[in-house]
Structures are given as structure tokens and as C-alpha cells.
Amino acid sequence: MARKRKTSPMEDMLDLVSLLPWWAGVAIAAIGYVVLHRMASPVQVMTVQPGQVGNLITHTVISGLATAGQYIVPLVGLVGAAMSFFRRRQRTALVTDVAQATSANALDGMSWREFEILVGEAYRLQGYQVTETGGGGADGGIDLALTKGGEKFLVQCKQWKAFKVGVDVVRELYGVMAAKGATGGFVVTSGRFTEDAKAFADGRNVQLVDGPKLFAMIKQAKQSIATKAPKPTAPPIASVSKSEIAPACPQCGSSMVKRTARKGKNAGDEFWGCSKFPACRGVRQVS
């Protein structure tokens, strides 16, 4: 899959930091500034012995680099953290949009970068740890590396709409898997595979995931997460014991109220007394 060419080391560092969680970028910025600020203290000019000239030059160079680095490193960390946060939201939005779509045609309008992000999230939802390798170069075009249960899997993403993914792509992945000792691999495309590609993958630890299969995988993963989410429960209804329900007076039928005996052998005990007391002296025991 094609890649945007990097134009500077700064761009490489930003891309690397953006692959980390956003809080890691903030930590890099804070720690980098503190460490480099201490190293950037100016060198005191004093009488130098002939054998100390080399050390003085070294300290001067380190101090100069630290002076510039105390601003560059925090900048890279904070910008990378912002990129990481933005990408996290982009991933969530991509998965949500596809999961809410009605057909796999939702994959057709994506750029290669969006498609790669979507594939990574699809496997992350299945419990894999996902590392974006960047594709191309010495890794044989591998776009994602997955780990789960101590096993490693490799993924090639092909956002090809005009033609089918052929057997050469599957052979390439299979060769890289053997070289890197991967347990298995996936070739994922928004389109389809040729019959030769399917025949080569059959019986090997390479799975071919076309557009409809990827679409179904995302919808199933999102539905599984939704069903596992805790459902809000209604507050419990306080139960009322029979002893709290006022009975009717056995003499006049009026409602009764709970009272406490003050005198006699039952002093301190509760009982039901007629609400019309003293006109009515009906009583009941509290059950």
C-alpha cells in the first residue's frame, strides 16, 4: 500500500509519538523539558588546562544541543499527543460510521489511511493488540502487527476498488510470515480476491478478508460490545412489612396509629391504638 514520503526527521518523530497514547506524548514533553533544561546550563569559562580542552568542547556541544532540545522535544511531544488524540477519535468515528451503515459499500469512499485505521480497530475490537508498522520497506509491506495470547499475526491492507487482489500479494505475506516467525496472517481488502489467491490461502495459515467479511466483522464486534455493556437498573423499591401497615380498629373500624405503652407491665412495648382515642379505646398488638 502506498505511503506518504517523509520529508524530515521531525516528521518521523511526530509520527512515532502519535502512535503512542496521548498521555505518553504529554509525559515525553514534560520529562524531556526537565531533563534537557538541566543539561542546558551554560559552561563556566575559566582557566583550562591543555588536557581539559576536549572535555570543555564536549560539554559545550552537549549544552548547546540541550538548549535547543529543551524546546524541540516538548513541542514534538505535545504535537504528537494532539495527533494521537485526534487519531483515537478518528478511529472511533470510522468504526461507528461503518457499524451503522447498511452495506459494505461504506468502505468504498475511504482513503488508504482511513481503511488501514479501520482494519486495525476491527482487530482491536476482537481482543488483539495492534501495532501500526507503516507498511513498505524491510517489513515486506506489512501494515499491521497483531499479538494475542503470546502469538503474532501480520496484516496486509489493500484498499483496491478497481481490481481483485491477486495471488502475488498472498504469497508475499506468506513469505514474510515465515521469515518473521508469525503464527498467522491476514490480507484485508475492501474489494475481492481472485480464485488463485483463494486457492493459495486454502490450507495455509493465511486468512483472506474481503469487503463484506470485514463489514460483518465490525458490525458483529460492535454488537457484542453493546450487549456486554451494563444496563441501567431501576432503584430498588423499599419493602413495607406488615407491621408498618395500620390496621382497622376492632371496635369502631377507624384507622389505628402505633403507640408505645408508658405504664404497666407492658411499658416500652409498641401497640396499635385507635386514632379516635379517648372516644374509642380499641387496641391491637403489633404483629
Q: What is the DSSP string of 88-141?
A: HHHHHHHHHHHHHSSSGGGGTT--HHHHHHHHHHHHHTTT-EEEE--SSGGGTT
Q: Residue 164: what are its φ and ψ, rounded to 5°? A: -80, 155
From 43, 67, 66, 65, select the one nearest 55 (Cα to Cα): 43
CA atoms of 127 and 122, how far apart (whole Å): 9
Cα Rg of the chain (Å, integer): 36
What would the CATH number be for the domain defined by 111-228? Answer: 3.40.1350.10
In the prediction, which pLDDT does 22 show? 76
Q: What is the pLDDT along the chain (287 residues), one digit of tens a residue?
A: 444 445 577 777 877 777 677 788 889 889 988 888 888 776 565 555 666 666 767 777 888 888 888 888 888 888 888 887 877 787 777 778 887 887 777 787 788 888 888 898 889 888 899 888 765 444 457 889 999 999 999 999 988 766 789 999 999 999 999 999 999 999 999 889 999 999 999 989 999 999 889 988 888 877 776 665 565 565 554 554 555 567 778 777 788 887 877 777 777 778 888 888 778 878 887 76
Question: Counting every residue, how long is the chain?
Answer: 287
DSSP 3-state helix, strand, coil percentages of the chain (rounded to 5)?
50, 15, 35
Sequence ranges of the domains in the chain = 9-100, 111-228, 246-285
Residue 193: beta bridge partners?
165
Class of residue 25 by CB neighbours under 10 A (exposed 0-12, middle 13-18, buried 19+):
buried
- The x, y and z cell numbers of residue 191, run together, are 474489494
Cell of 227: 450487549
pTM of the shown model: 0.56
Closest C-alpha to 122, from 157, 152, 149: 157
Burial status of residue 187 (CB atoms within 10 A of its CB: 0-12, 13-18, 19 or more): buried
pLDDT at 187: 95
